Amino acid sequence: RWAIGAVLSDRNVTERRNAATLEMSDENWLLSEAVINIQKPFKILTTISSGQKYPSLSAVYPQLYIIWRHIQVIQPNECAAVQQCRSAITEELQRRYYPAGYKKLNAAKASVFHSRYKLLKFFAEPVRDETYAEIIHELETIVVANIDDEPEIVEPELVKVLNNHENVFDDLAMLCSADDRFVGLDEFTFYLSETVKADILQYWNDNSKRYQKLAFLARKYLCIPATSVPSECAFSTAGH
């Protein structure tokens, strides 16, 4: 704040006619600080979703769920403008990420193949069941004999990135706890009932023979980046 004020008052940098339109009152500063606080989780989400060395799509809906909870909490003495900002962001999240049929999107299905989020606790039960039904339908179309061995997968760095951002996303841990409601011996239900603590890519590398059909779909969905940043970086690197 003070650094910006110094720049605005320095006539070698900012002309008087421009400074008059850029200067902010104390009320403006307080409003800006409150809005920035609301938006902090989005900066962290963007950083995590732009990673290139770990699966990113599978974490989109768990992280959005945490943001959704965070943004609903109105702080004491919060002004109407900030509350309006919260409402606008909530509506935009709903429009962009929760359209009709979102439970069938690749981001929803990718979460099933992430050991931390496979129980889909960030979805209501009807949505969860529809996502599982989509996966089961795909499993029924896979012929195991056509699945070739895949090369060893490099261990991801998502845990390292998350550990560097101790914040509202610490609540992600509650979405990762085991659930004993799954019974049955088929591949999918057994996978869901299993407690997994290994890094996700290492887990699928180690269990590709054990869960052949699921591993095939895991490769299909976990390779999808959550954002276009990795591909843009690749083009930028190639250009140099």
Tokens at residue 53, please? 């060395």
User: Looking at residue 167, what is its pLDDT?
Assistant: 58
Model confidence, pTM: 0.72
Tokens at residue 5, please? 């004020």
The CA distances from residue 83 to 35, 60, 70, 73, 77, in Å, are 9, 25, 13, 10, 10
Rounded distance between C-alpha atoms, residue 199 and residue 68, angstroms? 26
User: Looking at residue 115, what is its pLDDT?
Assistant: 87
Q: Which residues contact 93 (CB under 8 A, 6 or more apart)?
A: 64, 67, 68, 71
Tokens at residue 143, please? 């012929």
- The phi-psi region of residue 224 (left if phi > 0; otherwise alpha if psi is between -120 and 50; otherwise beta) is beta
User: Looking at residue 155, what is its pLDDT?
Assistant: 42
Tokens at residue 104, please? 């069938």
User: Looking at residue 227, what is its pLDDT?
Assistant: 86
If you write DSSP's letter for every residue of 172-210 in order, what string do you get? GGGGSS--TT---SSHHHHHHHS---S-HHHHHHHSTTT
User: Looking at residue 220, what is its pLDDT?
Assistant: 94
Query: Is the CB of residue 226 less than 8 Å from the CB of residue 60?
Result: yes
Which DSSP symbol is given to 216?
Answer: H
- The candidate with the shortest Cα–Cα distance to 167, out of 232, 78, 233, 70, is 70
For the chain, what is the largest distance between any 2 Cα atoms, rounded to a whole number of angstroms?
Answer: 75
User: Looking at residue 99, what is its pLDDT?
Assistant: 92
Query: Is the CB of residue 156 less than 8 Å from the CB of residue 55?
Result: yes
Does residue 141 sit in helix, strand or coil? helix
**Per-residue pLDDT in tens (0 to 9) along the chain, 240 residues:** 566 666 666 767 777 677 666 666 778 778 888 888 888 888 888 888 888 888 899 999 999 999 988 888 888 888 888 889 999 999 999 999 999 999 999 999 999 999 889 999 999 999 999 999 999 999 999 876 555 544 444 444 555 555 555 556 666 655 655 444 443 348 899 899 888 877 889 999 999 988 999 999 999 999 998 988 777 777 777 766
Q: What is the dihedral of CA 123, 127, 131, 134, to 10 degrees?
A: 180
| Three-state helix/strand/coil letters over 13-81 | CCCHHHHHHHCCCHHHHHHHHHHHHHHHHHHHHHHHHCCCCCCCHHHHHHHHHHHHHHHCCCCCCCCHH
Q: What is the dihedral of CA 184, 186, 192, 195, to 10 degrees?
A: 80
